[in-house]
Structure 1
Amino acid sequence: MANFDLNLVTTFVTLYETQSLTVTAERLFVTQPSISYALGKLREQFDDPLFVRTSQGMQPTRLAAQLYVGFKQASRCIEESISEARKFEPGHSNRQFRLALSDLGEMALLPKLMERLNSLAPNIELEIIPLEIDQVGMWLNDGYIDAAICSRAITSAGLASKKLVSERYVCLLDAAHPRIHSEMSMEQFLAERHVLVTRTSGHGMAEDVLQKLGAKRRIKLRLPHFSVLPKVIPGTELLAILPSQIAESFCELPLTKPLKTLELPFEVPAFEVTLHWHSRSIQSTGLKWFFEQIQAALGESDAA
């Protein structure tokens, strides 16, 4: 290993995270044959396949999973050292940042954030990673993402956070619902069919309250994302629970059958939409600048 090519570390880490030769080549601005060649060198060095081609992509072997932790840390240290050695100038930087967002965050927050970033740093690249709330702590600790915006507390060690905005939950339904008009009782709420969005989005607080009350919704449809609700609910008798500001934005859409929002017939605590990052990141001038821009663009704005 004395003459190990450090460039292979970057290739390994990127391939591990993308599980795709094509995407790895695109991210590293090289050809796919170059990535295949680098993978061959890695396999030779470690006498292990490292990545096996499957229908789901290039799946890492057990040895690759073990190597990733150390390689990722080494890659992050190199990147941070280079970043700090060079003066970060937003107006000229082409640095890439990674931010984890839910689909609601993409709709409500991303336009405002991009407007600010395009104005101050037109050459930087922002990659949005679909939020998986149970993975955020590990992602931040491993350096897979730079920051995450979500509505649930992340308690992993070494993380820092900043409140962006307060929000609350409401019920979204068709404006011409045949049985529910300007108000809704608990009996009505439980009698209707519902759309349930999975907890990976970070929005499970209302369901927790219902469970404590011993109440159970009649679920008609389960979805991984909120963004399709304006296409699903109009013209139906379905109910959905979601944050108020994005629900109001759905009601303002030019739909053939309009929507409306109502207060929930049970009390759900307000929640905070929060920016999370790893505390070590503040040592990086570029990352510190990125976090400041998120707070400036999104603080006390629409919720995610």
Structure 2
Amino acid sequence: MELEEIDLNLLIVFNQLLVEKRVSRVAENLGLTQPAVSNALARLRKLLGDDLFTRTPKGMEPTPYAEQLAESVSYALGMIRSALNQKSGFDPATARRAFTIGMNDIGEIWFLPRLVAALMQAAPNVTISTVRNASVNLKDEMEAAKVDLAVGLLPQLKAGFFQRRILQTRYVCLMRKGHQLDKRRITLQEFCAAEHVAVIAQGTGHGLADEVMQRSGVQRRVRLTVPHFTAVAHIVQNTDLLATVPETLAQRIAAPFGLSYAAHPVEMPVPSINLFWHARMHKDPANVWLRNFIVELFAA
């Protein structure tokens, strides 16, 4: 098939259906009627000789052929969009722009206060919204340009994404001040004998710490399991439980909550916290400015 045989608008509808899975939502996003979206899909089905999407209780699910096309179509549309917008620059001092950044609760605690304070000086009309990395399909949302950037330990963002390291952080043992293990070094025997709060942070790579401990044969006495890091400071402050957390989090919450932390007795890899963006936004002037601003602010 040659490019002149296909209407680019049909690929835009196709790309939107991949993300939204509902004809009604695609119509709303593109300012079209639902019959117009259905007609575009019918034309594309005929051109490509495939159903492309099938109706299910969960919405329009792509066929294997549609999944095969998905990444290439999304990438190509992103490159076209970037090329057309490349002439327009981004002046942070005057621009009015809303950005959406994916991050987990650690990112919100460690990352947001400093970023927002710096943006208020450099880009007074720029606003930031966040989404939790685990609460949305981050890959699809970034492909659809609904999320501009993501920050974290996100091994699921591979093909079609760029990334740049912001920092590396080791894991430490967090406890209340005055805990019997509140000292410079904790032995592995003391660690295993203590009781723990464990964090199962879905949608992030922080499960790595648990996997390493399991492979090493370390058996923790887990008294409590929680789905995120936000409550850990409150829990540890009022109990004798230990928590395994990234040092970046420990540094932010230790003083305000009266906590201490020590080197972890289990030897673990030091994960990288990266900044991610989709290829379609690689040359977008506003996206380029924001990610360079973030790197300059945090990478040191």
TM normalised by structure 2 equals 0.71
Aligned partner of residue 172 in structure 2, secondary structure: strand
Unaligned runs of 5+ in 2: 46-50
What residue number does 2:248 align with?
Answer: 245
| Pair 1:220-2:223 in alignment | yes
What residue number does 1:168 align with?
Answer: 170
Instruction: Give the superposition deviation at 1:217.
Output: 2.0
Among candidates 21, 42, 45, match of residue 43 of structure 2: 45
What residue number does 2:62 align with?
Answer: 61
Instruction: Give the superposition deviation at 1:164.
Output: 2.5
Name the aligned partner's letter for residue 217 of structure 1.
Answer: R
Taking only aligned residues, the RMSD between alpha carbons, in angstroms, comes to 4.2
Is the CA contact 1:250–1:259 (under 8 Å) kept in the aligned structure 2?
Answer: yes
Query: Partners of 2:33 and 2:21 in 1: how far apart?
Result: 12
Query: Partners of 1:191 and 1:250 in 2: how far apart?
Result: 25
Aligned partner of residue 230 in structure 2, secondary structure: coil
Is the CA contact 2:81–2:280 (under 8 Å) kept in the aligned structure 1?
Answer: no
Name the aligned partner's letter for residue 252 of structure 2.
Answer: S
Name the aligned partner's letter for residue 38 of structure 2.
Answer: G
| Pair 1:207-2:205 in alignment | no
Name the aligned partner's letter for residue 59 of structure 2.
Answer: M
| Pair 1:191-2:189 in alignment | no
Is the CA contact 1:163–1:272 (under 8 Å) kept in the aligned structure 2?
Answer: yes
Is the CA contact 1:96–1:126 (under 8 Å) kept in the aligned structure 2?
Answer: yes
Aligned residues between the structures: 286
Seen in structure 2, the aligned counterparts of structure 1 residues 297 and 211 have a Cα distance that, compared at 3 Å, is same
What residue number does 1:298 align with?
Answer: 298
Q: Deviation string for 1:85-119 (max 9, x for gaps)? A: 32333345455655442321122112322333344
Q: Deviation string for 1:130-170 (max 9, x for gaps)? A: 336xx98x779957665443347899578655443343221
Aligned partner of residue 86 in structure 2, secondary structure: helix
What residue number does 2:114 align with?
Answer: 112
| Pair 1:274-2:277 in alignment | no
Query: Partners of 1:140 and 1:43 in 2: how far apart?
Result: 21
Is the CA contact 1:112–1:298 (under 8 Å) kept in the aligned structure 2?
Answer: no
What residue number does 1:261 align with?
Answer: 261
Is the CA contact 2:93–2:124 (under 8 Å) kept in the aligned structure 1?
Answer: yes
**% identity of equivalent residues:** 24
Instruction: Give the superposition deviation at 1:291.
Output: 2.0
Q: Deviation string for 1:247-273 (max 9, x for gaps)? A: 23223336xxx5432332334454443
Is the CA contact 2:22–2:59 (under 8 Å) kept in the aligned structure 1?
Answer: yes
Instruction: Give the superposition deviation at 1:190.
Output: 0.8
Among candidates 136, 149, 160, match of residue 151 of structure 2: 149
Query: Partners of 1:123 and 1:97 in 2: how far apart?
Result: 11
Seen in structure 2, the aligned counterparts of structure 1 residues 197 and 155 have a Cα distance that, compared at 3 Å, is same
What residue number does 2:289 align with?
Answer: 289
Seen in structure 2, the aligned counterparts of structure 1 residues 234 and 52 have a Cα distance that, compared at 3 Å, is farther
Instruction: Give the superposition deviation at 1:208.
Output: 4.6
Instruction: Give the superposition deviation at 1:240.
Output: 1.1
Unaligned runs of 5+ in 1: none
Query: Partners of 2:279 and 2:8 in 1: how far apart?
Result: 30
Name the aligned partner's letter for residue 80 of structure 1.
Answer: S
Name the aligned partner's letter for residue 291 of structure 1.
Answer: R
